[in-house]
């Protein structure tokens, strides 16, 4: 692939991952609300009405794990192809595309931070919950993988942006 195609493909993948992480963050927030409600019902000795919570949560984290596992090879391949290109391939005419990719990576990073915040809230509530067996360890694995992958994407996008800026003509700076 050409450098322009790599930047475009990375931007597309970055947007897809951001949308995925945002949707998972919203779903995790919903599970957090449900968990807090269940904990309140248990504290007040009220019968728990949300009987499907554990199975739905476990399915949610399993689906998230499967999706992340499916996306990882594409990211590994893209990053490998980007690393194979020499610095001279990153010409100044790619600067605008590279900056756009860098912007998308920053937005992805914010989405990842939001997901991490929802994860922290959920785990804080889960500490006192023993009524059902939840696969929180799998959620932890997903959160760690998302954070690590986002960090790699941000790093690659900054490197591309830096390399293209180095090859811009002096009057463009």
Chain length of the chain: 173
4 or 170: which leads in pLDDT: 4
Task: Read off φ and ψ for residue 116, nearest 5 degrees.
Answer: -60, -40
In SS3 terms, 14-62 reads as: HHHHHHHHHHHHHHHHHHHHHHHHHHHHHHCCCCCCCCCHHHHHHHHHH
C-beta separation of 35 from 53 below 8 A: yes
Decide if pLDDT at 165 tops 90: no
pLDDT tens by residue, 91-144? 888 888 999 999 999 999 999 999 999 999 999 989 877 777 889 999 999 999
Give the pLDDT of residue 141: 96
31: exposed, middle or buried (Cβ count in 10 Å: 0-12, 13-18, 19+): buried
| Inter-residue contact 34 to 110 (CB < 8 Å) | no
Q: What is the chain's Cα-based Rg?
A: 20
pTM for the predicted model, two decimal places: 0.89
């Amino acid at each position: 692939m050409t450098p322009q195609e790599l930047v475009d493909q990375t931007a597309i993948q970055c947007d897809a991952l951001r949308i995925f992480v945002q949707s998972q963050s919203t779903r995790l927030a919903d599970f957090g609300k449900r968990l807090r409600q269940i904990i309140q019902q248990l504290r007040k000795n009220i019968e728990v009405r949300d009987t499907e919570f554990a199975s739905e949560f476990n399915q949610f984290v399993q689906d998230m794990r499967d999706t992340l596992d499916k996306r990882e090879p594409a990211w590994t391949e893209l990053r490998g192809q980007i690393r194979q290109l020499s610095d001279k391939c990153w010409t100044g005419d790619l600067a605008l595309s590279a900056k756009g990719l860098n912007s998308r990576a920053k937005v992805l990073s914010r989405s990842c931070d939001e997901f991490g915040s929802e994860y922290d809230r959920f785990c804080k509530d889960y500490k006192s919950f023993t009524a059902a067996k939840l696969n929180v360890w799998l959620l932890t694995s997903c959160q760690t993988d998302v954070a690590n992958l986002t960090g790699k994407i941000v790093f690659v996008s900054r490197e591309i942006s830096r390399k293209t800026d180095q090859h811009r003509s002096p009057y463009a700076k």
